[in-house]
Structure 1
């Protein structure tokens, strides 16, 4: 028997594999505290939960529509991507936006949306870098994300940040066909090559894979097969499987040993993937409409309220 309890302030989620034990536990809590049983989970912290024979579907549709309404964009034309391709937000030197507090309010709300909208990760990552002194162009870019919401609702891009020249690393962890974890993050140091940037991203992703592997084990979901790590950099994959350190990669020795240990232990299997189908691209760069829509569909993101 397994019983799980998730607590946030005075809200609780109770789950497990024994309905009788769950009912008994709720009865015990009702004796200890004044508690209201709302039945099967439908809405929790702004996240809507729907069920189907295929599993659960998480959505923040109401939360997103509230943002659209607050911004006064209910009647505006939607856009197909959250951020314009080939944008120059990091180097923009136009006038500062007159209401930085409102900018921070909007970006803060968009951050919470990334819990169920992984395709917003790159856009929100970019916008969050200008919280202190946003410019008008930054506000316009944030409004574009809201327009996208109205309509819709392991990678490294070497030296992609023109302010620091540090690369962006992004990953997505899939459990079957369902996205489990995702993130966009700027590298802590400047990478000397695209290979180094890709390999650092691999190390970053492997740590996340190990964490999710342990977390799933705690929930009684064993995973005995090697975790498969996809990457489009053949040179980075060769470093992962080759114990010989070349001169150009000697400064990566710590990360190399970490990834190689997992590879040799049999808990990690690497695989090359074509760039055009690389899901992590959606976390590290602004894409065109066609590629963005393709990768978003591959992520398993669906609009349950869209007309059929």
Structure 2
């Protein structure tokens, strides 16, 4: 039975989600059409740039992404607290970057409205503020713009994406870590890249590239705050160096033809999260095979089940 998106995206349970959108057409989202020989590789750049652009408008932080030939993965953090703290003027400014402002709001900015009209404007601004942390609005605007560009290029009409995006709730740090590693390793698993640092159109490569720029530039992604996350909450609760080592370790385990593994220099993050090698390997290799909507520790899954008042929960425990 179909579950309402309002239940799938429950911010009182978790603010982290793994999303996937797949293309419906034979020519794929990107890559080369074997019949015509036409390359669509440039569309991967469309998707990457659109993700980064929308992240500057919406209060939705990008933790990881990977743009593949016929689908893309996103791991996001929904920053409701940030949206709630924005002044009305910034809410309007953010919304204006992607939408045309109604004349009433334009007059409101010029202080040319009556008290009743000002009240109506505040209701509109409140609605926009809620949309700025809405995952559904973010994904809709991302997919719509890519579909429109592709349809114009292909000179056709119709659906470009096979369905609404699929989402999985990440209930704890271990689920978040697994989802990010799984996403960043997609090109390696697909055999189109040998290592994570050579995987084009992934968040990890963008993070690494931003480190070697002189001077270093912002990647535009949700930052790693490491052990300081208790003091600075606006960031991923891991260290970047630990995450890089973790991805490299997992990549060695799940890639065919790579029998080696790291036995002495395990990432510090494994100890901090009490996540053993066997559990790590099973979780990352089964991440997409498990058609589940909620991922986390069994106790967290029980909390979700009781919170949603459900007898069964389509979840995967770790």
- Is the strand fraction higher in 1 or 2? 1
TM-score (norm 1): 0.29
For CA contacts below 8 A with separation 6 or more, give which structure has more relative contact order.
2
